Structure 1
Amino acid sequence: MKASLKLRDDAGPLLRAKLPVALFSVPAVASLTAGDSADLSLCLATAAPSLPSLRLSYAPNRPAGTSPLSLSLVLGPGPGGCPSAPAGASAITMAVEVSAAGAISFSLSLKPSVGDFAVRKRFESVDGEGGASASELTMRSVVPVRGGAATVRIRWGVRIPAEVTAGGEAGAPRTGVTLRRLPFLVLGKVTVETRSGKPPPAPEVEVQEEAAVEKVRKVNEKLRKEVEALRATAGEGREKETAELAGTHRNGGGSSPANISRKLSGADVRL
């Protein structure tokens, strides 16, 4: 499950929740969006790893004259037009939305990123009228929770105010521009994502674990062979000492108990 809270200046916070589901054996995601009354919507989207995403959305509080039901096709640079790249979110996605009333809209989202830094830009077109959102420079912080069972992602943004005025006194020619306020840092979005089961180890950690197990197996095999060789050597020594004692008695040698004891202990010293 994945939940996020987006903070907005011109409206209340926007809450989104996503839950993975299965749609006729096809992986899908069910999502709920809530904020202001106009933001309420339900969505069901396919999430096949090598196909475009097909989304069915229902927004009951859309403006009058528009249909609350719409169908969207989302394309991306992934395999087969998948909007999700193998390493995460795609740098570019395009969506075509058709409402039940026949209205068609297009949107293009640009999200190039380098490490934890990204730039976001969105273009939209409805019935021939287009518009573009302001550019946004963002950075991301990731905090693991409960040993990796969940992660909290915090998206920060650098905002440059649009308040630009001409300087100079009244009647004087406007020769320069001045920013009334300096750029400032804002908190844009907080996302919490839970993971089912134990998180898989990183590839390099898995390779190291396999190498350690193989090393322990080889050491155990070497110790087992050395123990078997020691046992065989000890058995041969006992058989040889027994044969020497038996030969001494047959030859009539007068060995005292002390002499026999010394033979058994491995020292052939006669008194």
Structure 2
Amino acid sequence: MMTMTDLAHRTWRRRSTRKELALWLGWLLLVALFVFCWQVMTESTIWAFVTDAPRQAADIGSRMFPPRWEYIPALLEPLWDTLNIATLGTLLALFMAVPVAFMAARNTTPSTRFVRPVALLIIVASRSINSLIWALLLVAVIGPGVMAGIVAIALRSIGFVAKLLYEAIEEIDEAQVEAVAATGASKAQVMDYAVVPQILPAFAGITVFRWDINIRESTVLGLVGAGGLGLRLQESLNVLAWPQVTVIFILILITVLVSEWVSAKVRHAII
């Protein structure tokens, strides 16, 4: 039994000795992991190129100005293709993502044991593969052009739209569903009058948000042959036409800013 003298000499410690040792061991492992990753990352690095990078960047930057503004008319058709890729790809994704979302939501899926896991697998597969990878595969299958870009954007967007939508479905007010079902309504009528009206604002917001993201993604799909502004960018880079590259960069920036403004306005009007 401790006496009053022993209690007086005890000092407060935030952590016990075991926790302190575990914390230091964690930091040691983190440092070791960082050193290992740094070695793996730099083992094939040519440091002469790294040290010369500022001079090369300054040289390329000087060649990019002044921009070749007369190149803009040649970019109007690729810009239109980029907008079509983003818009049609988003619409195609919505057509496929809505059924997947209803199958993934716990309160609307036909089967939580069989159907829901398949729907979740589709969502994860779509979200785990970048649109550029989809475009690379589709260019090899379909061939180069706008169609490959549209399908690539759609396949990438399914997971994003379906995930957010099925989460919105699971958060609906079940009291409204029960009230409509109590009137003797069929399952289709319950879905039409109790579920769909509750998720429409979320659905509209998700659609506009994804379209805004797809505008940005579609600008670079041409780098792998899927059409749009990226195709012109790749052509200009191949011939070292840096003033044209500057114009393309500026046009991409303006396009993204306008799409962001439109998306914000539409979401504000809906929500």
Looking at CA atoms only, which structure, 1 or 2, has the larger radius of gyration? 1
More helix by share: 2
Using the size of structure 2 for normalisation, the TM-score is 0.16
More strand by share: 1
Using the size of structure 1 for normalisation, the TM-score is 0.16
